[in-house]
Chain A
Amino acid sequence: MRERYLPLLATVTVFVLVYAVGAVSFKYFLSTHVLGDLLTDNAFIIIAAIGETFVILSGGIDLSVGSMIGFVGVVMAHLDTLGWHPLASGALMIAFGVAFGVFQGLIIDFCEIQPFIITLAGLFLLRGSCFMVSLDSVPINHPFVDVFSDWHFDLGGGGRLSSSAVVMLVVLAAGVVIAHFTRFGTNVYAIGGDRASAGLMGVPIRRTTVGIYALAGFYSALGGVIYALYTASGYPLAGLGDELIAIAAVVLGGTLLTGGVGLVFGTLFGGLIQGLITTLVNFQGTLTSWWATIFVGVLLFVFIVAQRTIMSSFMARRAI
């Protein structure tokens, strides 16, 4: 068993355990219905979290994810009232997301400002822009929205693999390929491992950094498009705090926050675990929704401490 798969193994184990708890406690929990809903309801956040994974792998952080989701939705809803096709407005917003990511990446690299604070400013800018476009929830009435939500694969047993989930799985596969089978992906890991040595080894730091944030912008904007289609509306407060859920998904997915170690594939399970906890709390019925946030907090704590222990034992072995 190679060391890099250990955190992923831990994540999948937790996922299976939580699922098993649900299956034992509740009739119908182990149905394709629940599985399909789990994938659909969490598709947008997992998509955004894939982009966040690249950023965290490179040792950075992107806090503008949640605001991007809200902004994309609001603009798409506004363009819908002007008669735009959701696919056209969606494509425009994805281009915007990439451009915004390039902008953030350039400032981070050129001005040597911490990603944390630049993307914090990005969070403010995008959320503020949401309010400037609209203060109310605006529906998207285009017939394409119905087409999008109706289209699905049957999973058997009544469950559906919706179009949101399919998009998520496709871009997840793309993310895995980018991370593990391209030079860009190798550079991301190299920068996350040790930025200075990577630079000395000839890794193009600026191009890669800009690429990472552009990729994160692409994924969070795509997450916003999926969210807008999924809710058939744009709401200026949509995605509020989702950057934290995305970061938590990455951490629970086994990616080290210090950068350089982790797998894009793990983020899928990191996102699903959080969705599963919410589903469990909903099934339970008497527990209130804030228990879900507490459970996620506790899980985060356990995972981070476990990561710490794995890392220090790894370091100790390497030192000998």
Chain B
Amino acid sequence: MDHADNPQTIAPIKSLFGDLTSRSWFWPMFALALIFMVDGVVSPGFFSIRILQGRLYGSLIDVLYRGTPTALVALGMAVVIGTKGIDLSVGAVVAIVGAVMTNLIHRDMSPPLVLALTLGAGMLCGIWNGFLVAILDIQPIIATLILMVAGRGIALLIDEGLIVTFRSDFFSAISTGEFLTVPSRILVAAGTFLALWLVLRRTALGLFIESVGGNSAAADLAGINAKLVKVGAYALSGLCSGVAGVLICADIRGSDSNNAGLFIELDAILAVVIGGGSLAGGRFYLGLTIIGVLVIQGLTTSILVSGLPPQYNMVVKGVVVLIVLLLQSRRLRESIFGAFRRKTS
């Protein structure tokens, strides 16, 4: 599509800059580099990483560590958005998963079994969403809105309205522990990312998803089971939210149904959009989604290290998102570049 520009309009100056800016990775990477540069200036020790008590420490590690749950949710979200869908229920799924996990731990089950059942619960939530979207043919925003509204109620029902706490060495090791000096949750996220990348990008599955997102009916005619692909995408999103839910819940060693994963759907969607995923479906980028998460988390961390009060966080986030969206708008870019071209010629 980038080469479809009318040859007459391509000015020589534009070629290098234009070539660079039209790459999908340019703007997200540019934003991330800018944020880290500002951080480096504001807080001199920002890039230093040291090992303390057998564990890596530093602001960069902190960005990765805190961004992990959002990254997991955003990966699932990227796949769903690739099918021209959206999953608003991820935050509620995080809450449900936390409540299920806490409940099962209190039944003295073996931790691996708890983990499997908990992730199964997350996946089940995703399959429910997929059923509504693919089989009942309900708009994704609305279909997942149902679970978003009711999900926290369900989680509170499981917890009986309390914040239930637990102690589990197994889950603490997964969430807050470390493995070979690296915080284990970062490894969990990296493993999930790698698995998704292998499954989606080293096979034709990713293309199937994008073709369903591009044109569901055409994909169906081309022999792709569009319904199955959609259900699979939502199930995957549920599973990813499940993993995030396990990490969040194990982090605070309890299930807080009202607050676990609150607003995570917004961060996840923003991460996907910053990473160049189109809400109109048909394309998704796993790697760039992670960059998107790092942009958001980097921004939050920058606000903290710069000494601005944390209440500026949301406004700054909103402004940045708006700017990124405007930059991504083809029509705005064209009209600005167009005006520029008319002046120079």
Q: A residues within 8 Å of B by Cβ?
A: 61, 107, 110-114, 116-118, 120-125, 127-129, 131-132, 135, 244, 247-248, 251, 257-258, 288, 290-294, 296-298, 300-301, 304-305, 308
Contacts and interface: CB of A to CB of B under 8 A. Distances in A.
Given A111-B325, A124-B266, A304-B138, A293 B314 contact: no
A308 B137 contact: yes
Interface in B313-330: 313-319, 321-322, 325-326, 328-330
Nearest to A109: B331
Interface string B181-211: 0000000000000000000000000000000
A300 B331 contact: no
Contact of B142 (A113, A251, A297): A251
9 contacts: A107-B326, A112-B329, A121-B322, A128-B315, A128-B317, A131-B312, A291-B153, A300-B150, A308-B138
Contacts of B138: 304-305, 308
B295 interface: no
B139 interface: yes
Contact of B146 (A129, A292, A300): A300
Given A244-B148, A300-B145, A294 B319 contact: no
A290 B95 CA distance: 13
A122 B317 CA distance: 11
B283 to A, nearest CB: 15
Nearest to B161: A288
Nearest to B329: A111
Contacts of A124: 266, 314-315, 317-318, 321
Nearest to A293: B153
Nearest to A311: B137
A199 B266 CA distance: 32
A309 to B, nearest CB: 9
Contacts of B269: 117, 120
B38 interface: no
A128 B314 contact: yes
A297 B280 contact: no
Nearest to B88: A244
B325 A110 contact: no
A120 B279 CA distance: 13
B326 to A, nearest CB: 6
Contact of B318 (A125, A291, A301): A125
B154 interface: yes
A118 B323 CA distance: 11
Contacts of B314: 124-125, 127-128, 131
A156 B69 CA distance: 55
Nearest to A122: B318
Contacts of B137: 308
Place the interface of chain B in its size category. 35 or more
Nearest to A297: B150
Nearest to B323: A121
Interface of A is mostly: helix
A297 B153 contact: yes
B49 interface: no
Given A297-B146, A297-B147, A308-B137, A125 B152 contact: no
B127 interface: no
Given A61-B141, A112-B331, A293 B311 contact: no
Given A288-B161, A293-B149, 16 more contacts: A110-B332, A113-B325, A118-B322, A120-B266, A121-B318, A123-B266, A124-B314, A128-B313, A128-B318, A257-B139, A288-B156, A290-B161, A294-B154, A296-B150, A301-B146, A305-B136
B252 interface: no
Contact of A132 (B311, B321, B325, B331): B311
Contact of B145 (A127, A247, A305): A247
Contact of B316 (A113, A128, A293, A296): A128
A257 to B, nearest CB: 5
A308 B280 CA distance: 22
Contacts of A293: 149-150, 152-153
B10 interface: no
Interface in B11-70: none
Contact of B149 (A110, A121, A248): A248
Given A121-B325, A290-B153, A308-B136, A129 B315 contact: yes
A132 B153 CA distance: 30
Contacts of A301: 146
B71 interface: no
Nearest to B266: A120
Leading 4 A-B pairs by shortest Cβ distance = A297-B150, A128-B314, A128-B315, A124-B318
